[in-house]
Structure 1
Amino acid sequence: MEKQPLLNPRTTSYEFLGPPGALLITLGVPSLTYGLYFGCSEESGGCPPKLVLSRIFLSLADPEWWKGLWDAQAALIYLAWYTFCIVSWAILPGERVEGTTLRTGAKKTYKINAFSTFSLALSLTLGGIYLYGPQSFTFLYDKFVGFVTAAIIASVCQATFCYAFSFRPGSLLALGGNTGNFVYDFFIGRELNPSIGSFDIKTFHEIRPGLILWALVDISMVCAQATRRGGFGKVTDSLWLVLLFQGGYITDSLYNESDIFRQMDITTDGFGFMLAVGDLTWVPFVYSLQARYLVFNPVELGPVWIAAIVLFNAAGLYIFRTANSEKNDFRRGANPKNLEFFTTESGTKLLTSGWWGASRHPNYLGDILMALAWSLPTGFDTPITYFYVVYFAGLLIHRQRRDDENCKRKYGKDWKKYMELVPYRIIPYVY
């Protein structure tokens, strides 16, 4: 009992502007998810819709409009999907890997089989489409807003459970989530690694239900357009390109599942509403905006534009993958490229050449380039389909600043020396 306060010290500083900011984001993320749907959909009349402001307020004042956000069938399908992911984690074979060392000195062991879960889900989906045609898999597009509502409810339930669960004896709390303020701790995540037996709740949500569902949502968009245009042969090149880019990114993330155990979300953040709503709602239903737009606003690019966008995406993917490869090799004690590094007083080694000598977060540069490539197939008729690029760049800049603050506290004066060696944050010679 005497060691408990030292193991779980009270958090004395806030992020996201403290409880008011946490409350604003908690209410704002679901609202913005709905806003991006009604601001860019067939149901509302376009992207953006041609509605006067008075009609929007009249809709919000109508109880029937609010009832329309709920779809019992979509909720049951979503529950079945969530159950499928849990059962797949439990029964499919998977390698056991260790995560980073915790404050207790122990290491958690994780079962990794997200790629197997994805392969099974994809096989069942494509098999169903082959047998019953593209019209059999348009329900994710047709009932989109109902699925959004189901995912938001699941996010609230999951965050509430994890917050209450964190008060059990022996819980290891996140250093940033133990303020004692309910609103803030609920949002940021109070417990570092909430688990039921060997089932780690945070890593499960990080890589499975939302990420795999994102791929299935994109496939549903292709099916919706194929149904309207008379078959898969009539699907526009722009939509195929979005499916290729986003599907490739999702496949790469799932195949390299073990990489997430070194990310800030896993090593530092607790699991609260911020991660729950991000994983379950934001990823599948906001990141698929470009594909959804192309269903009702088809764009034909032609070979020249396709080649240009493919090269642009390839550049981003190359930077992202090679930068992460350099970092992961180095962390495992390998250095095949003989990269230079800086050793801190604590003995930690920080790369100062290769991609990690060009900037402190070169993988973020690759992410931003890919995000732009995923939006370019939608053309330039609306700025809404470029929301993802703007949001993602802001997210990565915020994450970079959080990481720099953590490193400053961890390495002290050594971090200042390191920043002199690697002065650029994300984009060399720019930022």
Structure 2
Amino acid sequence: MAARQRNSHTPDLPGQWAKESASRITNRFTDGVSNEFEFGGPVGAVLLMTGFPLLMWYMWIGATYYDGMLPFPDPGQSWPDFICHLCQLVYEGAYPSAKAWAIYWTFFIMEAVMYCYMPGVWNLGRPLQHEGGKRLLYYCSAYCSFYATLAIIIVLHVTRVFPMYTLIDEFGPIMSVAILSGFLNSFIVYIRAIVRGRTHRLSGSVVYDFFMGAELNPRIGILDFKMFYEVRIPWFILFLITCSAAARLHETYGYIPAEVIFLAGAHYLYVNACAKAEQMIITSWDMYFEKLGFLLTFWNMAGVPFTYCHCALYLANNDPSEYQWNPYKLALLSAMYIFFYWMWDSANGQKNAFRHKEKGQLVKRNTFPQVPWQAIENPKTIETDTGDSIMVDGWFAIVRKPNYIPDMFFSMCWGLITGFRSPFPWFYFLFFMVMIIHRTKRDINKCRRKYGEAWARYEREVPYLFIPYVI
């Protein structure tokens, strides 16, 4: 259902953490060859490129054929026979059919067209030092594209031209198409960069450069592929899969369970927030420094939408009686979720408004929802030697990472709503917790190096990272 050089107030849109593992801790912005390797270098890249799809197929097999449990050999079954059995299941249930190719790529092309022609706003990216300080212009239309997509899907479902539950019924084949498309698009971008002479910071290893990327900002016209992949493909698909689960359950039982409504609402808030604040990712690490390679491409096209969705897949594959919540507990969880959403959205809003206003490119949009305390007028700041300033106001005067705790809560809820019977709905939560702990440690060290005494003063004024008087 997915690493940036930033301080605690650099724009950090919801969902962007999914690509944190793709980012490099480096301050090198020059062209030429880089001898810095991550992820174990070329060997690690090969292992990850093979491990990602195998993990996805393995999780799908467990969710589909093993009642949500981890697949293991039967007593007396050898491992080679077991592996052959798993391969047979993938061939039978997840073969990339022509129908699956048509579904995935119709969606992909439709979203690309919407990117270019739906109403949106323009904004400038950060100066690119390797291009003499040039600032790229970005077109942000994800918000209108999201609601146009929903309108189209509703019409197709109601008219039975394309029933929404088809995504659940064809999940295996569509996932396989997404996996193959991730590889295909990665090859196209890599070869295109070499042919056009647009390579940047190459390592000297073909495998590693294919994995991490060869070109910084691959584009066709106004269509920037990193911007396109960041929001539309992974998060739109995730929400549509959840809606598909709801449609399948309604078709089967004649109603939509409250737990599925909760998850659909949670995913809607998340995806809507990504879309409405799309222009805020322009100055992020992914946009101005991270190259588009296999890691970002595959994780966006296949990894995020087809692994983070296992909570919805579990709800769709099991009888509602197996995960039914007490109505009062579910109401309490929903109220807590709304509170944390407000905290998360307003904290991101305060940070993004402060930083973009500082750069003179704040774009105020009439998007839904406009939550209270979304921006701070004339915030209190700490000046730094770098020319930047650190906001010490709003949520950031209470804790230094106010948007992290809500994100942790969201990831926990997506698993919690399914119960504890299957491990697969908890993949997102476990992945996120490992990532966020690593990122927090790295960000702290980076800010201490970059801002020196100014950051030390901020830590004295706001001593807690996540929860006041606790941590």
Q: What is the identity percentage for the equivalent residue pairs of Structure 1 and Structure 2?
A: 28
- Once residues 56 and 211 of structure 1 are traced to their aligned partners in structure 2, the CA distance between those partners, rounded to angstroms, is 36
Aligned to 1:120: 148
Does structure 2 retain, via aligned residues, the 8 Å contact 1:141–1:292? yes
Cα distance in 2 for partners of 1:278, 1:150 equals 14
Partner of 2:133: 105
- Of 52, 58, 74 in structure 2, the residue corresponding to residue 35 of structure 1 is 58
Amino acid at match of 1:161: I
What secondary structure, in the 3-state scheme, does the structure 2 residue paired with 1:333 have? helix
Partner of 1:165: 192
Q: How far apart, in 2, do the equivalents of 1:6 and 1:29 lie?
A: 29
Q: Which residue of 2 aligns with 1:60?
A: 83
The DSSP-based 3-state class of the residue aligned with 2:286 is helix
SS in 1 for 2:159: helix
Aligned equivalent of 1:45? 67
Q: Give the superposition deviation at 1:221.
A: 0.7
The 3-state SS of whatever aligns with 2:39 is coil
Q: Residues 249 and 74 from structure 1, CA distance in 2 versus in 1: closer, same or farther, beyond 3 angstroms?
A: same
Structure 1 residues 360, 10: CA separation in 2 closer, same or farther (over 3 Å shift)?
A: farther
1:141/1:220 contact within 8 Å kept? yes
Q: How much does 1:119 deviate?
A: 1.5
Instruction: Give the equivalent residue in structure 2 for 1:82.
Output: 108
| Aligned-residue offset at 1:146 | 0.9
Greater Cα offset, 380-389 or 419-428: 419-428
Q: Report if the CA contact (8 A) 2:73-2:82 is conserved.
A: no
Separation in structure 2 between the aligned mates of residue 355 and residue 254 of structure 1, nearest angstrom: 23
Change (3 A) 1:147 1:223: same
Counterpart amino acid of 1:85? E
Preserved CA contact (<8 Å) 1:155 1:280: yes
With structure 2 as the length reference, what TM-score do the two structures score?
Answer: 0.80
Distance 2:264 2:431 in 1: 20
Give distance in 2, aligned partners of 1:244 and 1:414. Answer: 41
Out of 148, 155, 165, which is 1:138 matched to? 165
Change (3 A) 1:153 1:181: same
For 2:193 and 2:390, how far apart are their aligned partners in 1? 34
Equivalent residues in 2 for 1:198-217, closer than 5 Å: 198-217=222-241
1:349 Cα offset (Å): 0.8
Deviates more, 1:5-14 or 1:374-383: 5-14
Instruction: Please give the secondary structure, in 1, of the residue aligned with 2:403.
Output: helix
Residue pair 2:414, 2:425 contacting (<8 A) in 1 also: no
Aligned to 2:411: 371
Counterparts in 2 of 1:19-418, with a 5 A limit?
19-41=42-64, 43-48=65-70, 52=74, 54=77, 57-62=80-85, 64-68=88-92, 69-72=94-97, 73-103=99-129, 104-132=132-160, 136-168=163-195, 171=198, 173=200, 178-229=202-253, 231=254, 234-297=255-318, 298=320, 299-333=323-357, 336-404=376-444, 407=447, 410-411=450-451, 418=458
**Stretch deviating more after TM superposition (141-150 or 311-320):** 311-320
The answer to whether the Cα contact below 8 Å between 1:193 and 1:271 also exists between their aligned partners in 2 is yes
The residue aligned with 2:19 is none
Q: Structure 1: how far apart are the matches of 2:290 and 2:457? A: 27
Task: Say whether the 8 Å CA contact 2:96–2:173 is kept in structure 1.
Answer: yes
* TM-score normalized with structure 1 length: 0.87
Is the alpha carbon distance of 1:55 and 1:119 closer, same or farther for their aligned partners in structure 2, counting shifts above 3 Å?
Answer: farther
Residues 64, 170 of structure 1: alpha-carbon distance in 2 compared, 3 angstrom cutoff: closer
CA contact (8 A) 1:60 1:66 kept: no
Structure 1 residues 351, 172: closer, same or farther in 2, change over 3 A? Answer: farther
Q: Secondary structure at the match of 1:350?
A: strand
Task: Name the stretch that deviates more: 351-360 or 417-426.
Answer: 417-426
**Contact 1:315/1:369 (CA < 8 Å) preserved in 2?**
no
- Counterpart for residue 13 of structure 2: none
**Structure 1 residue identity aligned to 2:141:** N
The gaps in structure 2 that reach 5 residues or longer are 1-27, 359-374
Deviations 1:269-304 (A, max 9, x none): 111111111111122111211111011222322321
What are the superposed Cα offsets for residues 232-290 of structure 1, whole Å, 9 maximum, x if unpaired? xx221101110111112111211221122133222331111111111111221112111
Name the SS of the counterpart of 1:137 in structure 2. coil
Q: How does 1:416-427 map to 2 (within 5 A)?
A: 418-419=458-459, 422=462, 424-426=464-466
Instruction: Return the alpha-carbon distance in structure 2 between the equivalents of residues 12 and 407 of structure 1.
Output: 24
What's the offset of the Cα at 1:172?
A: 6.8
Deviation at 1:401, TM superposition (A): 4.2
Cα distance between partner residues in 1 of 2:190 and 2:454: 36
Query: What SS class does the counterpart of residue 101 from structure 1 fall into?
Result: coil
Residues 1:398 and 1:189: Cα distance change in structure 2 (over 3 Å): farther
Give SS of 1:362's match.
coil
Q: Render the CA deviation track for 1:131-185: whole Å, top value 9, x for unaligned.
A: 339x922221111111111111111112222222333566373xxx532222222
State the distance in 2 between where 1:55 and 1:40 align: 22
**Separation in structure 2 between the aligned mates of residue 224 and residue 156 of structure 1, nearest angstrom:** 30
Q: CA deviation at 1:406?
A: 5.1
Q: Give the Å deviation of 1:375.
A: 2.1
Aligned to 2:365: none
Cα offset, 1:305, TM superposition: 1.5
Moved over 6 A (4+): none
Cα pair distance change 1:15/1:361, threshold 3 Å: farther
Q: Which amino acid aligns with 1:224?
A: R
Which segment is superposed worse, 267-276 or 416-425?
A: 416-425
Secondary structure at the aligned position of 1:13 is classed as coil
Distance 1:55 1:356 in 2: 56
Which residue identity lines up with residue 208 of structure 1 in the other structure? R
Contact 2:68 2:314 in 1 (8 A): no
Q: Quick check: 44-53 or 383-392, which moved more?
A: 44-53
Q: Is the 8 A contact 2:114 2:145 kept in 1?
A: yes
The alignment partner of 1:386 has SS state of helix
3-state SS of paired residue (1:40): helix
Q: CA deviation at 1:362?
A: 2.3
CA distance in 2, matches of 1:253, 1:243: 15
